Copies of this chain bind each other. A is one copy, B any other.
Amino acid sequence: MKIGVFDSGVGGLTVLRALMDRIPEVDYLYLGDTARLPYGAKSRTTVARYAASSARFLVGEGAEFLVIACNTASALALDAIRDAASVPVLGVVETGANAAQVSSDTRDVMVMATAATVESHAYAAACAVRGLRTIEKACPLLVPLVEEGWIEHPVTSEVLRIYLAELMEQARAAELHPDTLVLGCTHYPLLRTQIERAVPETLQVIDSAAVTAAQVERRLGILRGAVNGARPARFFATDSVVKFRTLGSRFLGRAIDDVELVDLGN
């Protein structure tokens, strides 16, 4: 069994990490479309074209199941990806919304995400069809803080405190009573401990990487065999192989030895 994981950059490696921890018995392919990131600033047509070509590449390399670890692609291009790929596809927006649906008793949830994801209102839409009301907040400083490596850092604590206070205030103003917080960006699982520390204990924090891995496992109905650790994944990037390797290993939680450069055109 081969699972292909796709993101516009290295953030989706947090999803791959959760998958490798949870389902070590399969082979993984990871594609970071680093030459064409960020998808967030691009139109739906462009994102759909990029994501479809990326999905076709992974299927061509043997992927029998696709995990779309890119929020923008999940939000804007899931149908295009499903049309382009002949294999089952699961996107992080739907897995996050699925987990929120299970978690929330009040039916009110909060979402922290990048500006582009919030502007797409993809989480609000996915939550609405599941009967949930949603408050979304753009947190544009969190990705650069994570990429700077400032995880256990007073500046990050202070930024989180400000963002979370603004989010709670938004919820109050809208007269919602959220009991669930969805981390709607693949970089945020690295801040999960800090975020859980900063919110009331009654608030359930949904880590999109972990819940995606759990849902992939259920979807595949994998029979757990005796496996000695995960097999090495194959990594592909469309640009900046060195940056992918150095930055990516922080997200994956282990060294990335080899990254193959691929050209998917414009």
Contact = CB atoms under 8 A, between A and B. Distances in A.
A174 interface: no
Interface of A: 34-35, 37-38, 41-43, 46, 140-141, 143-145, 147-148, 154-155, 158-159, 162, 239-240, 243, 266
A205 to B, nearest CB: 22
Given A43-B239, A155-B158, A155-B162, 7 more contacts: A37-B41, A41-B239, A141-B141, A141-B148, A143-B144, A155-B155, A158-B158
A152 to B, nearest CB: 14
Nearest to A34: B41
A141 B46 CA distance: 28
Nearest to A143: B144
Contacts of A148: 140-141
Contacts of A34: 41
A239 B37 CA distance: 14
A141 B140 contact: no
